[in-house]
Amino acid sequence: MISARKGTGKVAGMHIQYVGFDNAVRSRIYAFHVIDSSLGTREFTVKVQAEAFGAGSLKLQDGPGICFERLQRELEIETQESRAEALLHIGEMHIQEYRARHYPRKKTFERYATGTRPLS
């Protein structure tokens, strides 16, 4: 179970539980239960296109994490009048943001800026 609690910068009063995924023809669909102290249990799915997994993009093991973060973000901004959608999608923007947070580019020029040079 992936849990979100107040104090960790996450959704207060809710637990987000990863249930599993299904392979569809051209996508993976990740399922989550959200246990909310005021609304009870709700079910959500997050869809990722199959081509998002591959060289230079997402790894298969990134699927649950990126979907959890997407759902979490939607739950953080929902209001009484505007609830989070039960079916969410992962787009290119979400993938780029996820990769920037989890796989930051290494600064290859940093050692030159500090005056150290590689041994030849």
Q: What is the pLDDT along the chain (120 residues), one digit of tens a residue?
A: 444 433 233 477 889 999 999 999 999 999 999 998 888 899 999 999 999 998 778 999 999 999 999 999 999 999 889 999 999 999 999 999 999 999 888 766 655 555 555 555
Distance in angstroms (rounded) separating the CA atoms of residues 2 and 52 = 23
The verdict on residue 39 lying in a domain is yes
114 lies in some domain? no
Which residue, chain included where needed, has tokens 């989550």? Answer: 32
Structural domain range at position 19: 14-104
Is residue 31 a part of any domain in this protein?
Answer: yes
Q: Each residue of 6-41: b (16+ CB within 10 Å) or e?
A: eeeeebeebbbebeebeeeeebbbbebebeeeeeee
> Is 118 among the domain residues?
no
Cα(116)–Cα(28) distance, rounded to whole angstroms?
46
Residue 37: alpha-carbon gap to chain centroid: 23
Tally the domains of the chain.
1
Report the first-to-last Cα separation within the chain, whole angstroms.
Answer: 50
In a domain, 6, yes or no: no
